[in-house]
Structure 1
Amino acid sequence: MSYRNGQRLPPEALGVPARLSVNPRARRLSIRIDGRAGEAVLVAPSERRLGDVVAFAHGKAGWMRQRLAARPESAPLAPDAIVPVFGRPTRLTAAGGAGAARLVEGDAGPVIVSGGEGEAYARRVENLLKRLARQALVERTEHHLRTLGQRPVRVSITDARSRWGSCSPHNRTIRYSWRVIMAPPAVADYLAAHEVAHLVHADHSPAYWSVVERLVGDHRPFRKWLREHGAALHAVGR
């Protein structure tokens, strides 16, 4: 049977929803869980290896079911909800009217105050989080660019399903998921360093990781944090 990049397999094929993905930079067959989409992603380094990764996934069916069952429940952006901002629990409150959302420091900690109702309220809060993400990530990106003596880049904020960031060295563009603004500042700083380092080395070679280490020191705790908490961040606003 032939397979193609991006193809979705019916749930009965592996016992879970699954999508095929080709990543030329991948060094091996792998499986990751896309908690936001509710599916397993089977990754192969080339399209001709997609059959191999499907065969590999048959032996991981139990693990995939377990991981998908354990994904966090959705956490809508609604009044009285608690969401992390810069890693700090932040309460959402309604202000009445149609005012834009704003982050303030309350007596019991940070609070987001916003006008609007229902979807309009959620949209205002999400727009605030995107603005905060852009401000913080642009600042850290520029800091790391200066450290490495790199020219400026164009930064954009997205809501990617599976990647916290991406770098296109050929057109000097870096994209970040706005959701990283909910992580502790050191994790967001690591993400900026991770992407800026790709301007020096486009791969994930030892030379690349040495650049990341120069920028933020030991990167392993930050990568571990994203692995352990990333699904919960993707559940916010869903």
Structure 2
Amino acid sequence: MTTITLEGRSFTCSLRFSPRRQSVQIRVSRPDCLELAAPTGMSWSQIQQLVETKRVWVLRQVRRLEAVAANPANASLTHGATLLYRGQPHTLLLLADAAGRPNVTYSACNIAVHLPELVGEDNDPAVWQSLKQWYLEQSHQQLLERTRYWSAQIGVRPARISLRDQKTRWGSCSSRGTVSFNWRIIMAPPAVLDYLVVHELCHMLHPNHSPAYWREVARWIPDCREQRRWLKQNGDLLGKILAG
């Protein structure tokens, strides 16, 4: 491990070389850690110089990661914590309920987990499992409804709809017509969910990201750039909520 200092901040660096690379790839994995991939034979001084030219971008990513870590929606699952649902913050309530197994109820401002016994521990497995199951059910319901709606509008018919729990992808459309979505999209505003649905359904007409494809997306979601930007800016946060 080596270190690089950018504007007074020190970063631990992991470095790997690849004969296939023609430039230096930089990944900010933590606020104090850089993952670097460089062409075989490139010297450390050359790598440092290239990282220095990207310091503005690196520090911007650091601030983004720090904001995610500080967001109250990324806290432990305790009574009073903040959760996101359909783009809005909700207060998590942990309530004692003598009625059998845990269950979840929803109101305009709160998401309540009813437990037979309150154990008072952060990230209690029963709380985590109950919340994740509830989110999955809500996501499936909303995505099924919106996919049916937009399929009729666009004039396509997906063969199957599936939910996934992925780290870096929000959706996909296979050549066989299977449309897959990351269940965490239910935490985003409804307009962002609609954008994602249309984004994938339009791939049934254009299996690429050509200008024709983006024109088709914009035909149905005129502010698609705004919704795409929201997802790019907030995707890391959504990925950390209820991460198992």
For the criterion TM > 0.5, the same-fold answer is: yes
User: Normalized against structure 2, the TM-score is what?
Assistant: 0.71
User: Helix, strand or coil: the match of 1:95?
Assistant: strand
Amino acid aligned to 1:133: S
Q: How many residues align?
A: 209
Report the Cα distance in structure 2 between the residues aligned to 1:110 and 1:19, rounded to whole angstroms. Answer: 47
1:88 corresponds to = 88
Amino acid aligned to 1:206: P
User: Helix, strand or coil: the match of 1:202?
Assistant: coil
Higher relative contact order (CA 8 A, sep 6+): 1
1:158 corresponds to = 164
Alignment counterpart, residue 230 of structure 2, candidates 213, 225, 238: 225
Alignment counterpart, residue 141 of structure 2, candidates 125, 135, 138: 135
User: Normalized against structure 1, the TM-score is what?
Assistant: 0.72
Report the Cα distance in structure 2 between the residues aligned to 1:180 and 1:11, rounded to whole angstroms. Answer: 38
Range with bigger deviation, 223-232 or 185-194: 223-232
Cα drift, residue 66 of structure 1: 5.1
Report the Cα distance in structure 1 between the residues aligned to 2:2 and 2:147, rounded to whole angstroms. Answer: 41
Say if 1:130 and 1:39 are closer, same or farther in 2 by CA, change over 3 A. Answer: farther
Cα drift, residue 210 of structure 1: 1.2
**Residues 33-72 of structure 1: matches in 2 within 5 Å?**
51=39, 58=51, 59-60=53-54, 63-64=57-58, 67-68=61-62, 70-71=64-65, 72=68
Structure 1: gaps of 5 or more residues: 1-9, 21-27, 43-49
Cα drift, residue 200 of structure 1: 1.0
User: Helix, strand or coil: the match of 2:101?
Assistant: coil
Cα drift, residue 177 of structure 1: 1.4
Q: Is the 8 A contact 1:34 1:162 kept in 2?
A: no
Identical counterparts, % of pairs: 30
**Residues 117-128 of structure 1: matches in 2 within 5 Å?**
118-128=124-134
Greater gyration radius: 2
1:100-158 deviation per Cα after TM superposition (whole angstroms, max 9, x unaligned): 4333226xx24333326511111110111111111111111111211122123312212
Structure 2: gaps of 5 or more residues: 5-10, 18-22
Consecutive aligned runs of 4 or more in structure 1 exceeding 3 Å deviation: 10-20, 28-35, 38-42, 54-66, 97-101
Q: Is the 8 A contact 2:80 2:92 kept in 1?
A: yes
Cα drift, residue 19 of structure 1: 9.2
Amino acid aligned to 1:172: G
Report the Cα distance in structure 2 between the residues aligned to 1:41 and 1:188, rounded to whole angstroms. Answer: 33
Cα RMSD of the aligned pairs, angstroms, is: 3.5
Cα drift, residue 30 of structure 1: 7.5
1:113 corresponds to = 113
Q: Is the 8 A contact 2:172 2:200 kept in 1?
A: yes
